[in-house]
Each structure stands twice: as C-alpha cells, then as structure tokens.
Copies of this chain bind each other. A is one copy, B any other.
Amino acid sequence: MPDLSIDVVAKAAGVHRSTVSRAFSRPEAVKSETREHILRVAEGLGYTMSPLAQALRRKTSTFIPLIVPDITNPFFAELAKTMTQAADERGYQLLLCVTNGDPAKTDGYFTAMQAMYAPFGIVAPSTKVDTEALKRFDFGHKVVVIDRVEGDDAVPTVTVDSRRGIMLALDHLHSLGHTSIGYVSGIAGTHTAQDRMDAYLELSAESGSAPVVLDSGSDLDAGTRGAEHYLAMDNPPTAIIAANDMVAFAVISALGQSGVRVPEDVSVIGFDGLALGARFNPALTTIRQPIADMGHIAIELAEKQNADGSVDHIVLEPELLVRASTSGPRA
C-alpha cells in the first residue's frame, strides 16, 4: 500500500482534496453522485483515512483509554472484553492501559491520552481514585470511573450497589440456616471493597450476629490468610463471604489443601460473577455484577457528558447466583 493519501484519491476521482474529505466525514455536505463516485474510487484503491492525520487536525480522536490495574485479574479482563465490543459498536478503539497498581503509570497514561486527543477515558480503579490527579489534566474532566468517587461529583461513575450485594449474600446464607458467617476482604484499596466490608459489618450487627473478619488485607493473598485464620479457630463460622470471586477461589483452594471441603464443611460465597466461577471446584455461588452493562453504561455516560456536560452516577443492581459452593451448615 504505497502512499495512499487523500490527494491521490482526489486526483483519481478528479475532485479537490477537500471534497474527498467531505465525502467521508460529512457525506450530506456533498452531492450524492459526487460522493458515490469518490467512495467508489477510494474503495477501488483500497483507501482509508488516516486516523492519525484526522486526530491531529480535528484535535479529537476515537481512541479511548481503559485504565485497569491488572488485566490478569478476570474481573478487569471481562470488563475489557465487553468494553472493547461496546467501543467498537460506537466507532471507538479501546486502548487498554495496565498500571500494575502504579499511580505514576496512571498519570503517564493520562498525558499520553491527552496527547492522542482521546475524547474521554474510562478508569477502573484498584485504589481510591485520586481526584487531584484527575484534576491535573483537562482530561480529568472527561473520565468516567467504575467505582464510587469521594469528594468530586464532577466525574461520572458506574457502580454496583455493594450493600445490596452483601445483603443478598447474607440472606442466602441465613436462609440456608447459617448463623455464623465470616468475611474475607478483597482488594481493599477501592471504595467498592470498603463498601462491601462496611455493609458486612453493619448488616451482621443488625441481624444480631457477631461479625468474624477472617482477613482484611488488600492483596491477593487475603484468601490464603483468611483460610489460615479459619483453620486456627476453635469455633469457625459455618459460612464465608469473600469480597470477590478471586479471593473466594483462594479461600477454597487453601481450605482444600487442609482437607476442609466446600460446601460440606463450610459454605463459601463470592462477589463478582466471573465466568470462571462456573468452572471452579466446586462451582462458585456468588453475587453477580452486571459487568457488560457497566461497560456499556460507562461509555454512554462519557458520551453524554461530552454532549451536554451532564454528570451521572449510576448504581446497578447485583444479583444472587446460586451454584455449588453453598449449602446448609453441617448438622
């Protein structure tokens, strides 16, 4: 494909460069015969417009960054997958940016994306979002966050109702006959993680049962430590709520290593609804987040903000997904 520029198409079609541009970008502004002729010629040549040149001239592009802490975490992978689709449908290209939890990288991505004239960005945080960092960029006001944000109503957000999710989990476990229910926290940096934990603490208190926090750590080893703590107890709970599915996997794995069986010996329920959960051993009961919806909504919110400046905060409903990892307590 040698040097196929707008000018060679123009020459081939016998029109001016600007007419070719219009034929592609503002079709209604050019006589339909002219347009069709141009398009045909372009097609024949195999010509497509350079997104680079377009972005440079227009000062806006269709690149939209999705900033995630760790693509290896299936929650973010699933989010990335659905968002790729959502973006495609709307003519954007999603640029996956992985921070590995390094805030400096987030900053780097922001400036890079500003330089790429990204119309907006999506951030799925691993730590509480630094609203100051957001403000340091023009870009900061064109970001939507997949988490709750504190102290800055200017940024649109999508989340799932954490309290409601924990309530669903607790109700499910109660209805099975459990009265002593432990909790292992998840990646604890986010508001979401904190909300889940707070909900557990409050709702336990309300139901009159003492909360048993098996681990409140913020890393992926929380599950392993939670299991150790469980194993060391004289009177362990008969069920465990894990703050997210990955933690639930780790809990079950560590428990299994010590011969504790799920759900026979202890019930475990996760939070996320990862596809992987269906293929875990045992298949994981969990609180499902509508990940696909979150992805679509995030993009809609960004477009809406771009269009009319409105800032929405959407809270989605979670859903109980009963599989094999929960059952009644041992007699």
Q: What is the interface of chain A, defined by CB distance below 8 A to chain B?
A: 1, 48-53, 55-56, 61, 70-72, 74, 77-78, 80-81, 84-85, 93-96, 98, 100, 111-112, 114-117, 137-138, 223, 246, 249-250, 252-253, 256-257, 262, 275-276, 278-283, 324
User: Do A51 and B115 form a contact, CB below 8 Å, given A81-B98, A98-B81?
Assistant: yes
**Which B residues touch A51, using CB under 8 A?**
112, 115-116
Could you write out 18 A-B pairs with CB less than 8 Å apart? A1-B114, A50-B56, A71-B80, A72-B77, A80-B96, A81-B100, A85-B100, A93-B112, A95-B95, A246-B279, A250-B279, A252-B281, A253-B278, A253-B280, A253-B281, A256-B281, A257-B283, A262-B281
Q: A52-B55, A276-B276 are in contact. List 13 more A-B contacts (CB 8 A).
A: A49-B115, A52-B52, A53-B56, A71-B84, A71-B96, A72-B77, A81-B100, A95-B95, A249-B281, A253-B278, A253-B282, A257-B324, A280-B280
CB distance from A181 to the nearest CB of B (A): 21
Q: Which of A77, A262, A282 has the most CB of B within 10 A?
A: A77
When chains A and B are docked, how far (Å) is the Cα of A171 from the Cα of B74?
33
**Which B residues touch A1, using CB under 8 A?**
114, 137-138
**Which B residues touch A112, using CB under 8 A?**
51, 93
CB distance from A93 to the nearest CB of B (A): 7
Which of B56, B77, B276, B281 has a CB less than 8 Å from the CB of A281? B281
When chains A and B are docked, how far (Å) is the Cα of A51 from the Cα of B95?
15
**Which B residues touch A138, using CB under 8 A?**
1
In the complex formed, the residue of B with least CB distance to A275 is B72
In the complex formed, the residue of B with least CB distance to A250 is B279
In the complex formed, the residue of B with least CB distance to A88 is B105
CB distance from A274 to the nearest CB of B (A): 9
Which of B50, B72, B94, B275 has a CB less than 8 Å from the CB of A115? B50
Do the beta carbons of A52 and B116 come within 8 Å of each other?
Answer: yes
**Which B residues touch A256, using CB under 8 A?**
281-282
When chains A and B are docked, how far (Å) is the Cα of A249 from the Cα of B98?
26
When chains A and B are docked, how far (Å) is the Cα of A1 from the Cα of B100?
27
CB distance from A184 to the nearest CB of B (A): 13
**Which B residues touch A55, using CB under 8 A?**
52
Which of B52, B78, B100 has a CB less than 8 Å from the CB of A117? B52
**3 closest A-B pairs by CB:** A96-B96, A256-B281, A253-B279
When chains A and B are docked, how far (Å) is the Cα of A17 from the Cα of B117?
22
Do the beta carbons of B70 and A81 come within 8 Å of each other?
Answer: yes
In the complex formed, the residue of B with least CB distance to A137 is B1
**Which B residues touch A278, using CB under 8 A?**
253
When chains A and B are docked, how far (Å) is the Cα of A100 from the Cα of B93?
15
When chains A and B are docked, how far (Å) is the Cα of A205 from the Cα of B51?
55
In the complex formed, the residue of B with least CB distance to A220 is B279
CB distance from A94 to the nearest CB of B (A): 8
CB distance from A117 to the nearest CB of B (A): 7
**Which B residues touch A56, using CB under 8 A?**
50, 52-53, 56
